[in-house]
Copies of this chain bind each other. A is one copy, B any other.
Amino acid sequence: MLLHYIYLLAITAEAMSGAIMGIRREMDLFGISLIATVAALGGGTVRDVLIGHYPLGWVAHPEYLAFTICAAIVTALAARKLHHFKSAFLVVDALGLVAFTIIGCDIARGFDSFHPAIVVIFGMVTGVFGGLLRDVLCNEIPLVLQREIYASVSLLTGAVYVGLLHLQVDTSVATLSALVPGFLIRLLAIRFHWELPRFNDKGIKGFE
């Protein structure tokens, strides 16, 4: 229930992040709305297509599209003022990341044959592939492949959640035990620029 409201808040925030990227690339109102929608609903869409889980969320609930398109229009109109809210965006995006992850795990758990690792993977797909598709459409190397721990937070959140449910912990306890630490770690990662290791590319110069 609470998760549903967090979900609506999160798709709004992701839609606004997509809209901002579209505005900066001088897209028109259609382009901005499409990027916003892809950023917000793309992760769940990729998950459902990879599972073969139909109808897709936004097909069954067209009101999600109304949310993302309204968020895009508001962002476009308010673009000049948005830099005042940059921190708020990062916080809601972090909340969205963990909420999307848990919702994605729940959908995948509905398929009995799935290995727990696959459930965690589909949680991560739900959390990060919206942003990944947004960046591909904007002709950028996806940020999620490069920046401070982001997908890793999603994988950790999903692993804690699926692990606790496996130990017969109550669903709402498992949700909070995965959501809260995941959210806090993401915020700390932003604050202290925590990163995953990168690697020396000497020796592979001639490879492409």
By a beta-carbon cutoff of 8 Å, the part of chain A in contact with chain B is 20-32, 34-35, 45, 49-52, 54-56, 59-60, 62, 65, 76-77, 79-83, 86, 111, 113-115, 117-118, 121, 132, 136-142, 144-147, 149-152, 195-208
Contact = CB atoms under 8 A, between A and B. Distances in A.
A150 B29 CA distance: 12
Contacts of A81: 203
A149 to B, nearest CB: 8
A152 B30 contact: yes
Contact of A28 (B45, B59, B118, B197): B197
Contacts of A132: 137
Nearest to A206: B83
A208 B24 CA distance: 10
22 contacts: A20-B207, A22-B145, A23-B198, A24-B207, A25-B146, A26-B201, A29-B197, A29-B198, A31-B144, A49-B50, A50-B59, A59-B118, A79-B199, A79-B200, A79-B201, A79-B203, A79-B204, A82-B203, A83-B205, A86-B206, A136-B136, A139-B139
A79 B104 CA distance: 34
Contact of A51 (B54, B149, B151): B54
A142 B11 CA distance: 23
Nearest to A111: B55
A51 to B, nearest CB: 7
A28 B117 contact: no
Given A204-B82, A205-B83, A27 B59 contact: no
Given A83-B206, A206-B83, A201 B23 contact: yes
A45 B114 CA distance: 16
Q: Which of A49, A56, A204 has the most CB of B within 10 A?
A: A204
A199 B32 contact: yes
Given A121-B65, A145-B22, A30 B196 contact: yes
Given A45-B50, A83-B205, A77 B199 contact: yes
Contacts of A21: 208
